[in-house]
A = this chain, B = another copy of it.
């Protein structure tokens, strides 16, 4: 039973402080929400989650904060279709996404072999790979 204690800094809040961001109440709440989110919420969803912890937060602030954190490299923005941007906390290793087109759910997976492969691809074209993304749009196999 882990206790969520407001006196304990969330992972993201720590990162914000490292980057020298001014930590307001709303940013602390949003940071906490992000730290606890292991999916790919959109702004609306983040706003909903944050409001649950503190009703003194506006969507505008969520938009502003999310943009700020993306600029700082703390968050990554994705376009998985559906019209709204979705966010996730930046992780160290490259990982890929499989989007279930029926449910919109996103499955993450890693494949270090594939990373090497892609580096080779870039090299063959005369480039050094900086980053890359691989996204699969797929439908669950039916076992009738």
Contact = CB atoms under 8 A, between A and B. Distances in A.
Interface string A95-124: 010101100000101010010011001110
**How many of these chains are in the complex?**
2
Contact of A127 (B96, B125, B138): B138
B140 A136 contact: no
B130 A133 contact: no
B137 A134 contact: no
A67 to B, nearest CB: 13
Given A101-B130, A127-B100, A118 B141 contact: no
Q: Which 9 A-B pairs have the closest CB atoms?
A: A127-B138, A132-B136, A122-B138, A79-B79, A134-B134, A131-B137, A129-B138, A130-B137, A128-B139
